[in-house]
Amino acid sequence: MIAELGLAALWLAAGLALLQLVLAALGLGKGRAELLSGVRPVAVAQGLLGALSFGALIALFLRSDMSVLLVAMNSHSAKPWLYKFAGAWGNHEGSMLLWVTVMGLAGALVALLERGLKRETHMATLGAQAAISLGFYAFLLFSSNPFARLNPAAPDGQGLNPLLQDPGLAFHPPTLYFGYVGLSVAFSFAVGALLTARVDAAFARAMRPWVLGAWVLLTIGITAGSYWAYYELGWGGWWFWDPVENASLMPWLAATALLHCVTVLATRDALRAWTVMLAVVAFSMSMVGTFLVRSGILTSVHAFAVDPERGSFILVLLLLYIGGALALFGLRVGTVREGRQFEGVSREALLVVNNLLLTVILGVVLVGTLYPLMAEAFGHKISVGPPYFNAVAGPIALVLMLAMAVGPLVRWRRDEPGVVAGRLLWPAGLMIGLGAALGVAAWGKIGVLPFLGLVVAAGVALASLIPLTKRNLRRTPLFTYGMVLAHLGCAVSLGGMAAESAFTTERLVAMKPGESVEAAGWRIRFDRALPLAGPNWVAMQADMAASRGGEDIMLHPQSRFFSSPPTTTSESAILTRWDGQLYVVLGEALDDGRWQMRIWWKPFVTFIWFGGLMIAAGGTLTLIGRERRGWMMRLRRHRAEQSA
Amino acid sequence: MRAPLFLLALAVAAPLTAQTALPPAPYANQQLADPVQERKAHELMLTIRCVTCQSQSIADSDASMAADLRSEIRARIAAGEEPEQIRAWLIERYGAWISYQPTADPITWPLWAAPIALLAGGGALVIGRIRRKRRNA
């Protein structure tokens, strides 16, 4: 029953999305304003029905209803409840259902909460949102029905990919999806503003919280995904330039550019056409990302869904949306009047530089990711990987970081180059000093890019704090704190990446029980290896003790074997200290009673993800700061009206 | 309850160890004694694709093919070969696909041209716009 209920709710939600589009189109196109009053209630109902449908899917997974194909394929009755729950979206159909559900709920929120926009623009935005949702509903209902029955029911399920049976990963994909949906809302706002010729500051203010929210979620999603790969894959790598990682990085890059651009539009009413263009690009990148991941067109660690029919369906959707959006942009960009002017040395100009560099990095990642496909079409099988991306995107990113340090120290509209240089005295001095010291101490021992990364990180960290000096800290707006925190987070993250690349110590050893090994000041003793059983796995676990002068700290790396489906994973033992992590992996047993061990000391590696969290926290502060200001103003107006 | 669990664990784990007890290649998981040589070898490994895995280099993969290649690379480096010679040998044997580092083959020229073109195009756009504004002002 639950499966049928879920499917019925999905069909109804799809019908309402169609109705929402038709009402908005007729209301605006034929001037029948009475139809427009129906758009908002329909949007809310559509969101609720989508949520009901997804709720039904979760219920099916929690009850382990093996008469539903999706549950039988991706779940198992012996799994812990968390992974039954997360299993609902740990597969193609479920994740797409989650996507449309969140999209519907976001549409309902836009319908309920948005007050600053002109009514026509608001309605056009909801119409655009319905049009995007319709494509996804069609995709689900015609090629990926999550509620398909299995007759006869399976005795038990096939289980979830053990790599995915991890609390971090259970919530990694939904975080990214929520981010993608936020970008789709931003895109809908852009379409609404283009259609009604209202690309202005009010539009930017309406769009900004969605861009910020999406960007925060994407930041968290990428940071969490990177940490997951780091501890789960067992080789200490934190970024592989894997196509699926790139698929999540590209929307983030576009969202970062959009976020800065939309601020310029909201506060200075400049960069109008470019903001709209970036909204189109950001949404397109999230669609490209979905296409790359969901179609399984690129071989990658994450390619769980390999199905050409679905791939072609998403490709058609992708071309329709992006083509439509670009065509609309081309047709209507003439109605976007030029915004306000600014000088070559101004915060606007530096934000343009930020946008340019982010877009170039985005272009590099896009080209690099798709290039092997294009080359294959011409009969060449080549790989594009870390050596290319690091060499090309790395230097551009460093220049971008420098621009990020300077930007907040420059005034809006125009500033004096000499005065700006004066504000940069201390960071520049720090960079020169650190560069000289590092050059003397470690010349030839570390690569050029990590060297520059360390120097730039230090300078940017110092410069990012300067906006807080010489002002009353209690009267400084929350969003300024948010910006400072996010920029500082970028510097911290860069510092972590550079330190890890420059100073990691690696030890690959074979040890007998009782033997010890030294690595970067640590003494690591291997006591014994014993078998161990978990709820749905068995493992070999090593008892090890690590010490750095002080007392012993126990470490327990495991090699885990899951029976459904049969897979071996290594659970690394990670010891976190303020200045880095000790990372120990248990390898295979050798014939002579020794065990393979992989041991790394990674100085300041945690800074990478700590910085990522700082960036996300900074974004959240900014979001709260900006929105609170809006609420306060509304409240004040409301009180004034009442007292009058 | 615990003892049967242990027995079960042993029983299930036993075929695993049997399967992996094949004689591993000598340098698969053993570093070279000379740190300079080991660094050379490791840097090369990071740029060689594990062809049986998905998007991993042989430096971070558990696959046996990656282990064999790691051993091969360490042995050749220890014998005095240069990393680029080894890369050339690998490409000859497995095809250009095995190298993450794009080669100088003309097929990769657009790949290197793309960032330059993007930077130049974007830069020209921005500079042109600022100039136009100056004229307008």
Residues B97 and B112 grouped into a single domain: no
- Out of A110-114, A259-263, B105-109, pick the least confident: B105-109
- pLDDT on residue B23: 52
pLDDT tens by residue, A274-315: 899 999 999 999 888 887 777 666 654 444 344 567 777 878
Q: Count structural domains, chain B.
A: 2
- pLDDT on residue A600: 92
Residues B94 and B77 grouped into a single domain: yes
Q: Which of A182-186, A302-306, B106-110 has the highest mean pLDDT?
A: A182-186
Residues A441 and A579 grouped into a single domain: no
Across the interface, whether the CB atoms of A380 and B21 are under 8 A apart is answered no
pLDDT tens by residue, A584-642: 998 888 888 888 888 999 999 999 999 999 999 999 999 998 888 777 877 888 888 88
- Out of A33-37, A63-67, A318-322, A376-380, pick the least confident: A376-380
Asked if the model's pLDDT at residue A560 lies above 90, the reply is no
pLDDT higher at A115 or A274: A274
Contact A412, A470 (CB under 8 A): no
The CATH number given to whatever domain includes residue B70 is 1.10.8.640
Which residues in B lie closer than 8 A to residue A538 (C-beta atoms)? 8-9, 12-13
Question: How far apart are the CA of A225 and the nearest CA of chain B, in angstroms?
Answer: 15
- pLDDT on residue A308: 64
Contact A140, A100 (CB under 8 A): yes
Q: How many CB atoms lie within 10 A of CB A250?
A: 24
Q: What is the DSSP letter of A394?
A: H
Please tell me the distance from the alpha carbon of residue A580 to that of residue A602, in angstroms, as a whole number.
Answer: 5
Which residues in B lie closer than 8 A to residue A385 (C-beta atoms)? 47, 49, 55, 57, 100-101
Nearest to A105 by CA among A198, A248, A210: A210
Residues A598 and A628 grouped into a single domain: no
pLDDT higher at A48 or A236: A48
Q: Which of A603, A619, A634 is the last residue of a domain?
A: A603
The pLDDT of A245-266, averaged and rounded, is 93
Residue A335, token pair as written in the block? 């109605």
Residues B93 and B125 grouped into a single domain: no
- Print the domain residue range for B111: 104-137
Asked if the model's pLDDT at residue A519 lies above 90, the reply is no
Across the interface, whether the CB atoms of B60 and A303 are under 8 A apart is answered no
Exposure class string for A417-438: b at 16+ Cβ within 10 A, else e: eeebeebbeebeebbeebbeeb
Q: How many CB atoms lie within 10 A of CB A148?
A: 12
Residues A596 and A531 grouped into a single domain: yes
Whether residue A114 lies inside any domain: the answer is: yes
Residues B26 and B80 grouped into a single domain: yes
Alpha-helical (H) ranges within B27-108 are 35-45, 64-78, 83-94
Residue A211, token pair as written in the block? 């861009």
Asked if the model's pLDDT at residue A42 lies above 70, the reply is yes
- Residue A531, beta-bridge partner list: A540
DSSP secondary structure string for all residues of A223-235: HHHHHHHHHHSSS
Whether residue A104 lies inside any domain: the answer is: yes
Residue A293, token pair as written in the block? 């991941």
Across the interface, whether the CB atoms of B57 and A375 are under 8 A apart is answered no
Residues B97 and B108 grouped into a single domain: no
Task: Give the CA count within 13 Å in the CB-facing half-sphere of A556.
Answer: 7
pLDDT tens by residue, A208-223: 999 999 999 999 999 9
Residues 6+ apart with CB under 8 A from B113: none
Compute the residue count for chain A: 644
Asked if the model's pLDDT at residue B19 lies above 70, the reply is no
Q: Which of B118, B130, B135, B136 to mutate to test the interface with A (most CBs of A within 10 A)?
A: B118
Residues B83 and B109 grouped into a single domain: no
Question: How far apart are the CA of B101 and the nearest CA of chain A, in angstroms?
Answer: 5
Residues A59 and A90 grouped into a single domain: yes
Which residues in A lie closer than 8 A to residue B61 (C-beta atoms)? 235
- Write down the number of H helices and E strands in chain A: 20, 10
Nearest to A72 by CA among A564, A567, A568: A564
pLDDT tens by residue, A524-538: 999 988 998 887 788
Whether residue A17 lies inside any domain: the answer is: yes
As a whole number, the mean pLDDT across chain A is 87
- pLDDT on residue A72: 86
Q: Look-up: residue for tokens 């090629």?
A: A143
Q: Which of A205-219, A362-376, A509-523 has the highest mean pLDDT?
A: A205-219
Whether residue A187 lies inside any domain: the answer is: no
- pLDDT on residue B132: 64
Give A395-460 as a 3 state SS string.
HHHHHHHHHHHHHHHCCCCCCCHHHHHHHCHHHHHHHHHHHHHHHHHHCCCCCHHHHHHHHHHHHH
For B113, the closest chain A residue by CA position comes to: A364
Residues B113 and B72 grouped into a single domain: no
The pLDDT of A494-502, averaged and rounded, is 94
Residues A92 and A147 grouped into a single domain: yes
Which residues in A lie closer than 8 A to residue B21 (C-beta atoms)? 588-589, 591
End-to-end CA distance of chain A: 57
Which residues in A lie closer than 8 A to residue B8 (C-beta atoms)? 533, 538
For A447, the closest chain B residue by CA position comes to: B43
Contact A198, A254 (CB under 8 A): no
Asked if the model's pLDDT at residue B2 lies above 50, the reply is no
Across the interface, whether the CB atoms of A538 and B62 are under 8 A apart is answered no
Question: How far apart are the CA of B117 and the nearest CA of chain A, in angstroms?
Answer: 9
Residues A594 and A616 grouped into a single domain: no
Nearest to A172 by CA among A242, A248, A71: A248
Q: How many CB atoms lie within 10 A of CB A139?
A: 19
- pLDDT on residue B14: 43
Asked if the model's pLDDT at residue B7 lies above 60, the reply is no
Task: Give the CA count within 13 Å in the CB-facing half-sphere of A65.
Answer: 23
Across the interface, whether the CB atoms of A352 and B9 are under 8 A apart is answered no
Amino acid (1-letter code) at residue A35: L
Question: How far apart are the CA of B3 and the nearest CA of chain A, in angstroms?
Answer: 11
Whether residue A371 lies inside any domain: the answer is: no
Across the interface, whether the CB atoms of B100 and A383 are under 8 A apart is answered yes
Q: Which of A139, A165, A191 is the last residue of a domain?
A: A165
Exposure class string for A33-51: b at 16+ Cβ within 10 A, else e: eebbeebbebbbbbbbbbb
Residues A451 and A593 grouped into a single domain: no
- pLDDT on residue A30: 84
Whether residue A329 lies inside any domain: the answer is: no
- pLDDT on residue A473: 82
Residues B111 and B70 grouped into a single domain: no
Whether residue B2 lies inside any domain: the answer is: no
Contact A430, A462 (CB under 8 A): yes
Of B5, B8, B115, nearest to A360 by CB-CB distance is: B115
- Out of A179-188, A195-204, A267-276, B57-66, pick the least confident: B57-66
Of A243, A356, A533, nearest to B8 by CB-CB distance is: A533
For B100, the closest chain A residue by CA position comes to: A385
For B63, the closest chain A residue by CA position comes to: A568
Q: Count structural domains, chain A.
A: 3
Residues B112 and B95 grouped into a single domain: no
Residues A38 and A58 grouped into a single domain: yes
The pLDDT of A55-68, averaged and rounded, is 90
- pLDDT on residue A300: 43
Whether residue A453 lies inside any domain: the answer is: yes
Residues A24 and A117 grouped into a single domain: yes
- Print the domain residue range for A453: 433-503+611-643
Asked if the model's pLDDT at residue B43 lies above 80, the reply is yes
Residues A589 and A464 grouped into a single domain: no
Strands (E), A107-242: none
Across the interface, whether the CB atoms of B101 and A363 are under 8 A apart is answered no
Of A300, A367, A378, nearest to B114 by CB-CB distance is: A367
Residue A395, token pair as written in the block? 């230097």
pLDDT tens by residue, B76-94: 998 888 999 999 999 999 8
Q: How confident is the model at residue A84 (pLDDT cuts 50, 70, 90)?
A: confident
- pLDDT on residue B135: 59
Residues B68 and B132 grouped into a single domain: no
ipTM > 0.90 (yes/no): no
- Residue A528, beta-bridge partner list: A543
Q: How confident is the model at residue A66 (pLDDT cuts 50, 70, 90)?
A: confident
Whether residue B48 lies inside any domain: the answer is: yes
Residues 6+ apart with CB under 8 A from A566: none
DSSP secondary structure string for all residues of B6-35: HHHHHHHHHHHHHHHTSPPPTTSS---SSH
Contact A604, A496 (CB under 8 A): yes
Question: How far apart are the CA of A383 and the nearest CA of chain B, in angstroms?
Answer: 5
Q: How many CB atoms lie within 10 A of CB A241?
A: 20
- Out of A24-28, A101-105, A159-163, A548-552, pick the least confident: A159-163
Q: Maximum distance among all alpha carbons in chain B?
A: 86
